[in-house]
């Protein structure tokens, strides 16, 4: 057998590489994702359509604690401690233990369910075929889809969002509903812990993102800008803005408005852009670059 030269080896390697690429299945391109919560009306329709107590309990716990299907179907009775009013389980994605507070109403519902099961340990949602086995993912998915159809909530996903799923609303949207409600109630740090995302970016992107219009509303609300008597109106008039970088020797901070405060006021009111604000801040921090070196604007910001 003759030895192959480097050129022939390179050709064989190229051919093998192309064959490997063809053998590997092409990954579907990730589509636009949007967290869509159920509305109150949709939730009422869904639970009204469910005539199976087990399915109703699964949906209730998923909505109440933001559980994924994998997580809720693997809950065990031992996970719940009614004395300490909490339950612990392992997150499906983070693989870390998570703890949740059990409120009084939820505790009553769970105790009634455990009484119906007639057991003090084991799966919260056992299989009908085997008492020691859990309720199957496939069996639940088929039942849930049937009730969604009955409630008229199998909305076609015409926009092809959320990984091109066939329907706009699925079981996972119960978790979206939980996360949306949490985002309205607590800050981002606490929300991230309750939502149990791997990365903070996921929490911020889907549940705490704020548009420019909402930013303006937030500033107006925070600083009472729609009222006549507010913090910013107590400051001196805007005509003094022209004196921002002029020599103010001989005056004290009590005699004039602080430049930093004036800049902040103009930024909030939309009279200067973020870029202009940053440039003026740099000037304040770096001092006057003109020939008049006797004026040091660093003193203006304290």
pLDDT along the chain (302 residues), means of 10: 68 79 60 77 95 95 91 92 88 75 93 91 89 87 94 82 72 91 84 82 75 62 58 47 45 54 73 80 63 40 34
Residue 14 lies in a domain: no
Instruction: Give the pLDDT score at 160.
Output: 63
Residue 1 lies in a domain: no
Residue 31 lies in a domain: no
Same-domain pairing of 197 and 290: no
Same-domain pairing of 193 and 65: yes
Same-domain pairing of 184 and 82: yes
Q: Which CATH number characterizes residue 184's domain?
A: 1.10.443.10
Same-domain pairing of 197 and 238: no
Residue 106 lies in a domain: yes
Same-domain pairing of 152 and 248: no
Instruction: Give the pLDDT score at 253.
Output: 44
Instruction: Give the pLDDT score at 218.
Output: 66
Same-domain pairing of 47 and 190: yes
Question: How many domains does the chain divide into?
Answer: 2
Instruction: Give the pLDDT score at 132.
Output: 80
**Which among 144, 178, 209 is the end of a domain?**
209
Same-domain pairing of 228 and 97: no
| DSSP labels, the chain | -PPPPHHHHHHHHHHHHHHHHHHSPPPPPPPP----PPPHHHHHHHHHH---HHHHHHHHHHHHHT--HHHHTT-BGGGEETTTTEEEEE-TTT-SEEEEE--HHHHHHHHHHHHHHT-SSSBSSB-SS-TTSBPPHHHHHHHHHHHHHHTT---B-TT--TTT-SBS--THHHHHHHHHHHHHHS-HHHHHHHHT-SSHHHHHHHHS---HHHHHHHHHHHHTTTSSSSTTTTSPPGGGGGGTTS--TT--TTTS--HHHHHHHHHHTTSS-HHHHHHHHHHHHH---SS-TT--GGGGG-
Same-domain pairing of 186 and 253: no
Same-domain pairing of 65 and 160: yes
**28 vs 86: CA distance, rounded Å:** 40
Same-domain pairing of 181 and 238: no
Phi, psi dihedrals of residue 237, rounded to the nearest 5°: -65, 160
**91 vs 93: CA distance, rounded Å:** 6
**Which among 209, 234, 256 is the end of a domain?**
209
Instruction: Give the pLDDT score at 299.
Output: 36
Residue 144 lies in a domain: yes
Residue 26 lies in a domain: no
- When computed from its CA atoms, the radius of gyration of the chain, rounded to whole angstroms, is 30
User: Which residues span the domain enclosing 197?
Assistant: 40-209
**Residues in a beta bridge with 89:** 98
Same-domain pairing of 286 and 195: no
**pTM exceeds 0.85, yes or no:** no
CB 85 within 8 A of CB 102: yes
Measured CA to CA in angstroms, residue 258 lies from 72, 76, 255, 267, 302 at distances of 56, 61, 9, 14, 9
Residue 118 lies in a domain: yes
CB 187 within 8 A of CB 194: no
Same-domain pairing of 92 and 168: yes
**Which among 209, 237, 262 is the end of a domain?**
209
């Amino acid at each position: 057998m003759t030895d192959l030269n480097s050129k022939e080896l390179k050709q064989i390697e190229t051919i093998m590489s192309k064959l490997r690429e063809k053998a590997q299945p092409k990954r579907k391109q990730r589509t636009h994702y949007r967290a869509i919560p159920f509305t109150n009306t949709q939730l009422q329709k869904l639970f009204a359509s469910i005539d199976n107590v087990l399915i109703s309990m699964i949906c209730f716990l998923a909505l109440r604690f933001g559980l994924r299907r994998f997580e809720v179907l693997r809950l065990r009775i031992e996970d719940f401690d009614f004395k300490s009013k909490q339950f612990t389980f392992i997150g499906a994605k983070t693989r870390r233990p998570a703890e949740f507070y059990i409120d009084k109403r939820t505790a009553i519902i769970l105790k009634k369910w455990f009484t119906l099961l007639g057991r003090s340990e084991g799966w919260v949602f056992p299989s009908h075929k085997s008492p020691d086995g859990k309720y199957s993912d496939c069996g639940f998915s088929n039942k849930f889809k049937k009730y969604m159809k009955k409630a008229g909530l199998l909305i076609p996903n015409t926009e092809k969002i959320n990984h091109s799923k066939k329907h706009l609303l699925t079981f996972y949207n119960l978790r979206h509903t939980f996360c949306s409600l949490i985002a309205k109630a607590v800050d981002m740090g606490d929300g991230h812990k309750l939502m149990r995302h791997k990365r903070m970016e996921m929490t911020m992107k889907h549940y705490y993102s704020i548009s420019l219009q909402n930013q303006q509303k937030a500033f107006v609300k925070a600083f009472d800008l729609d009222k006549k008597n507010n913090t910013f109106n107590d400051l001196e008039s805007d005509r003094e803005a022209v004196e921002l970088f002029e020599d103010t020797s001989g005056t004290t901070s009590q005699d004039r408005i602080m430049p930093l405060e004036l800049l902040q006021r103009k930024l909030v009111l939309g009279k200067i852009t973020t870029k202009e604000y940053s440039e003026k801040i740099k000037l304040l921090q770096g001092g006057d670059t003109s020939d008049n070196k006797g004026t040091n604007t660093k003193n203006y910001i304290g």
